[in-house]
Amino acid sequence: MKSYIAIFLLLIFTSFLVKAEQTCHLRADLLGAYYQLTNSNTHSNEQEYSITDKAVHLSSLWRTNQKVLSINGEQSTTWYRLNNGLVQKTTHFDHFKRSIEYQAKPMSEEYWQQIRQLIPDSKKHTLTLVNTTADGCYQQEQYQWHSDDSNLSGKLLWNKNLNIMTELTITQGDKKSHWQLQKIERNQDVINQVFAQRANYQSTDFADIGDNESDPFLIKMINLGFIDHSASGIYNANGESMAIQHNH
């Protein structure tokens, strides 16, 4: 009987080690990160403190080598850093299975980090490092900041090994934005499929849009203002960028 118990415990322990080993072998350049963003407005006085308005959004960030894909609702963007250092941007409209390709342009390392990490190192280094803890195989860094001038404060939990945001809270006045990492996808087949799905969309070069004025999709997207040079990164509840600015 004791031998059966020993074998059972050994199997459980082995399974735990395998799972831990798989988790520890996550690569910073091959993963998918699912986030939940909650924006809320609060009302407070001497008698009460309550949430008066709350909106929840889901988004995800994907990496595979020199490609980054950000998904937000039914619109997503792929960024591809070429061997010559230029970055190719492609905007996807997932509902229509259509894409707009933009000309590859130079991009600073700082802005590439903003796309790849949501928060570049330059911004993170201006925050106050409060604590560093071990979470399984990884180091978690906790940052915070506060500005009396802008009435802006925040807390950031950062996975140092994978260079991804675990949790971020930004508060300004009665407005609050909270990002929470929900899941990390490490299956390479799943990651490849996410990129391949959008690579198969019908694509139009941005420079050729003027020659396709009869395309109902392009007309609709232009009129709605969706075809534009969009930014990337983290924004507070007022829509102000928490990262750097870049005209691309």
Predicted TM-score (pTM) of the model is 0.78
Which residue ranges form the domains of the chain, and what is each CATH number?
28-224 (2.50.20)
Q: What is the mean pLDDT of the chain?
A: 81
Question: Per-residue pLDDT tens for 31-47?
Answer: 999 999 999 987 655 55
pLDDT tens track for 181-231: 999 999 999 999 999 999 999 999 988 887 777 888 888 877 777 665 444
Write down the H helix ranges in 25-93. none
Average pLDDT, stretch 132-149? Answer: 89
Q: How far apart are CA 70 and CA 78, in angstroms?
A: 7
Phi and psi dihedrals of 2, rounded to 5? -65, -35
Q: Residues 79-94: pLDDT tens digits? A: 999 999 999 999 999 9
Residue 13 has pLDDT above 90, yes or no: no
